[in-house]
Chains A and B, each alone.
Chain A
Amino acid sequence: MNKMPQPTESSVGSCRSRTIDIVNRGLKRRYRAERRFKIYGITAIALSLVFLALLFITIVGNGYSAFRQTEIKLDVYFDPMEFKDKLAADANYLAIVKDAMRSLFPDVSGRRDKRSLYGLVSTGAAFQMRNMLLKDRSLIGQRIPVWVPADDDVDMLVKGHMDRGLPESDRRLKDKQLAWIDQLAADGRLHKAFNFSFFNNGDSREPELAGIRGALMGSFYTLVVTLLLSFPTGVAAAVYLEEFAPKNRWTDIIEVNINNLAAVPSIVFGLLGMAVFLNFFGLPRSAPLVGGLVLSLMTLPTIIIASRASLLSVPPSIREAALGVGASKNQMVFHHVLPLALPGMLTGTIIGMARALGESAPLLMIGMVAFIVDIPGGLTDPSTVLPVQIFLWADSPERAFVERTSAATMVLLAFLITMNALAVVLRKRFEKRW
């Protein structure tokens, strides 16, 4: 085979042996290239999946501990003297908490030491006392044990996010405070409980008091507005373009336009909302109403495109049958075609809503990025949304906010995954092959 072709051999035979020769010589190299190519493909997929895993591990690993909050047990005494000539709402609850702390560590003296002792419990403890008392006046004059939230530094220490080995000056908690915390733990006065305040509170500067309720309600109102506006209009636009519109230059423009809008950066919609809704129409800043308006403009193309695809998949025979038995064109569309296309439209809408729920850039433009403590109660109350809350907390320097941010992200992702799973189920359930 490797011999030089003899001149006496027939030209056909020499040619065949030469081709096989060339092929065989290259075969090993080509198979290697083939394997290499395949490995590239597997590596590419593996890389993206590794990244996905990494992202989830980081978020969950940082966030799961936020669902539990460290609490300190205090023996609170509602001193009748304190309530003698004051309304119950105005009493000095901070002093009550401080008294309770001092009674645990009677030998602490000096202003600075006392201040660092009081710093172990959250400022929210006083509000908790107040709410307790306003609910039940008979507590005055009693001494009762109460679990109050610990300060975020204590929380971080208990959860192991603070290194005791650091020199004292680099630690947020000083040596004395560590000793007090250890004593509290030894007395069984320190435990971790489910963090209800994370789900019940609005935003706060104190990590241990900050919750996502306000952001969740803001997201809810915003999405309601978005859904109410974008679903009917999107479906109507799709019905017109797919069923009624004549095929001419004008509808062509609309179509190109919709495809383009679907690819316009979301922040440009924010600019639109700012210039038109806030400055031209004078609608309130930071309101879910405006957020919903902007997001519905943004999700409209998605819904229109999905709805058109869904209408297109309804076979023409349905339309012809309806027209054949004497239905008008409107009756044909609204009685026969639309009900068959509706599941597909709903799937597209849910996916659009999921995108709207995760969207934050345009909402920054219309002022939904403010620090808002109150839980919004309506469409025009100032509010923020869950992704923007994540953005705000991600900027906060406290270590405890990293935990909160991750936990809020987990909540957001849970909502998104539920919505997408719902869309998949809906598609599977109602998908028809004609």
Chain B
Amino acid sequence: MNPLHLLIVLLLLSSAGYYIGRKKAFAVAGGAQGIQKLHSRPVYYGALTAMWCGIPAIAVVAAWLAFEPSIITGLVLNGLPDEIRSLPDGMLNLLVNDIRNLVDGNIVSAASDPMIQQAADRYAHLKLISLTSLTIASVSLSLLALIFIRSRIVPNLRARNQVERIVRYLLIACSMIAIFTTIGIILSVLYEAIRFFQTVPVTDFLFGLKWSPQMAIRADQVGSSGTFGAIPVLAGTLMISMISMAVAAPIGLMSAIYLSEYANRRIRDMVKPLMEILAGIPTVVYGFFAALTVAPFFRDTGDFLGLSISSESAMAAGLVMGVMIIPFVSSLSDDVINAVPQALRDGALALGATRSETVRQVVIPAAFPGIVGSLLLAVSRAIGETMIVVMAAGLSANLTANPFQAVTTVTVQIVTLLVGDQEFDSPKTLAAFALGLLLFLVTLALNVIALVVVRKYREQYE
């Protein structure tokens, strides 16, 4: 029985529990006419039985399945000869992968090795035992709960209150997931980053001027240790973000102003959905567009003018990213501009100011904190954007101020360092987590500042 079938069986048991509990409630009440003797409506007795029948058993299954692979792997590895267990972690990981592939029936080159074959058999055997015992444990837990709750059903059992309490706990658990996600992000990134900083000092990482994370495969190779100075990567990120903001801020802001101060309803209704389409296009499509059309356009223009422009220029990536952010800036600034009280505008117009003077001298100063907040949010989007830069910006970490050269960004480096199979312990992999930590902290700071600013500003006029 595979886990999916087990889950279906448990759900069926749980719905059976509903009917059994409901029937028992009718029985103890003495049929439909005695129903007012019950504390709660019969459905609550059914629901209570179903919950006790399903929730603990499914929780057991989930926990079991979450920890099963690591435990079984540990057991299998312990059964291997000592000389294999003393292999470095990377080799051991490969070995485990081989074993798992063999168990799944994928043919690997290691299949001929009898020792691996044995380990794979053991793995499959353990897995079978685990699944069988899980099935027995969860189904019997479910049945026991069913029998127990059924025996507890009496007319004055406060079933509704109990059901509602369980529901309340479930709701609380769901709203805690957001907290756990944040904690999970911080812990996972921080843990690996700390391991990275044990090999590479923090100061070298933050202030180093050279980024070349390639590690030699053999110890005696030239340049066997990569250098992890993040400054070129940060400079590249900054440059691309600045280019994109130079595109998005004026265009986004001006279109928001035009739409909220000048355009009539008909134009607004037509243009706004189109801008939303721009916001809904996946970033990978923007990336493809940048790589296919915009970057070659810059390169060809450069050739025509006699300049050498890299086909992976920061300009192309930044420009396209700017276009991606336009709707973001415009919808956020639209909100803050609309929040400026009409009385301020009317006052300015009554004094004889033209519309543009009203906008420039009254509306924008009044909305300024909100606009700054929305621009900060946009910057944080630009810094965290991945696909456009992966596809259109380069990999080489140049420390340059020339926007027509290839630069690299934090997100590009994270992707290149982590995509594909690699050992999990090398500084190269861990460096990605250090960059991830940096990215998370910077965007977090920008978001918090922006949210505080926007909220303060909103309160001012409410």
Please list the residues of chain A having a beta carbon within 8 angstroms of any beta carbon in chain B.
Answer: 23, 30-31, 33-34, 36-38, 40-45, 47-49, 51-52, 54-55, 58-59, 62, 232-234, 236-237, 239-241, 244-245, 253-254, 256-261, 263-269, 271-272, 274-276, 279-283, 297, 300-301, 304, 328-330, 354-355, 357-361, 364-365, 369, 379, 387-388, 390-391, 394-395, 402, 405-406, 409, 412-413, 416-417, 420
Contact = CB atoms under 8 A, between A and B. Distances in A.
B219 interface: no
A47 B171 contact: no
Nearest to A54: B293
Nearest to B173: A236
A54 B357 CA distance: 34
A263 B443 contact: yes
Interface string B364-386: 00000000000001001101111
Contacts of A402: 292
B345 interface: no
B300 to A, nearest CB: 15
Nearest to B106: A382
A348 to B, nearest CB: 14
A369 B167 CA distance: 39
10 nearest A-B residue pairs (beta carbon) = A265-B384, A41-B258, A358-B282, A275-B188, A282-B69, A37-B356, A44-B254, A236-B174, A240-B171, A361-B386
A412 B287 CA distance: 14
Contacts of B443: 263-265, 268
A240 B175 contact: yes
Interface in B186-219: 188-189, 191-192
Contacts of B354: 30-31, 33-34
B284 A360 contact: yes
Given A240-B171, A300-B177, A360 B188 contact: no
A405 B171 contact: no
A111 B355 CA distance: 79
Given A44-B250, A44-B251, A328-B160, A58 B289 contact: yes
A297 B176 CA distance: 12
Interface stretch (B16-24, B132-140, B433-441): B433-441
Contacts of A244: 168, 171
Greatest chain A CB density within 10 A among B70, B259, B292 is at: B292
Contacts of B280: 354-355, 358, 416-417, 420
A391 B289 CA distance: 11
Interface string B321-361: 00100110010000000000000000000001011110110
A31 B354 CA distance: 8
Contacts of B384: 264-268
Given A47-B251, A237-B174, A330-B167, A391 B447 contact: no
Interface centre among A62, A240, A281, A390 (most CB of B within 10 A): A240
Contacts of B262: 38, 41
B440 A268 contact: yes
B387 A360 contact: yes
Contacts, number: 264
A254 B177 CA distance: 10
A259 B436 CA distance: 20
B278 interface: yes
Contact of B439 (A254, A268, A379, A409): A268
- Name B's interface SS: helix
A47 B439 CA distance: 31
A64 to B, nearest CB: 15
Contacts of B304: none
A365 B188 CA distance: 14
Contacts of A258: 178
Contacts of A48: 251, 255, 275, 278, 323, 326-327, 330
B66 interface: yes
Interface residues of B, number: 94
B288 A390 contact: yes
A261 B180 CA distance: 11
Given A58-B292, A271-B188, A387 B175 contact: no
B128 interface: no
6 contacts: A30-B357, A33-B356, A45-B258, A59-B289, A265-B383, A330-B164
Contacts of B176: 254
Contacts of A36: 356
Residue from A37, A58, A261, A355 with most neighbouring chain B CB atoms (10 Å): A37
B75 interface: no
Contacts of A268: 185, 189, 384, 436, 439-440, 443
Interface stretch (B118-126, B225-233, B309-317, B414-422): B414-422
A400 to B, nearest CB: 14
Interface of B: 4, 66-67, 69-70, 73, 160, 163-164, 167-168, 170-172, 174-179, 181-182, 184-185, 188-189, 191-192, 250-255, 257-259, 262, 271, 274-278, 280-289, 291-293, 323, 326-327, 330, 352, 354-357, 359-360, 377, 380-381, 383-387, 390-391, 411, 414-415, 418-419, 424, 432-433, 436, 439-440, 443-444, 447-448, 451
Nearest to B271: A45
Nearest to B174: A236
Contacts of B383: 265
Contacts of B172: 240
B39 to A, nearest CB: 12
B431 to A, nearest CB: 12
A254 B178 contact: yes
Contacts of B271: 45, 49
A195 B288 CA distance: 23
Given A364-B419, A413-B281, A267 B386 contact: yes
Contacts of B418: 271, 274, 364-365
A260 B415 contact: no
A267 B182 contact: no
Scoring B170, B352, B381, B387 by chain A CB atoms within 10 A of each residue's CB, the highest score goes to B387
A260 B182 contact: yes
B381 to A, nearest CB: 8
B439 A45 contact: no
Nearest to A412: B282
A177 B357 CA distance: 69
B258 A275 contact: no
B433 to A, nearest CB: 6
A74 to B, nearest CB: 34
A329 B161 CA distance: 11
Contact of A267 (B257, B359, B415, B424): B415
A297 B274 CA distance: 29
A353 B287 CA distance: 21
Given A297-B181, A328-B160, 11 more contacts: A42-B258, A52-B278, A260-B451, A264-B185, A276-B188, A281-B66, A282-B73, A379-B4, A387-B282, A412-B282, A416-B280
Contacts of A52: 274, 277-278
A272 B178 CA distance: 13
A43 B257 CA distance: 12
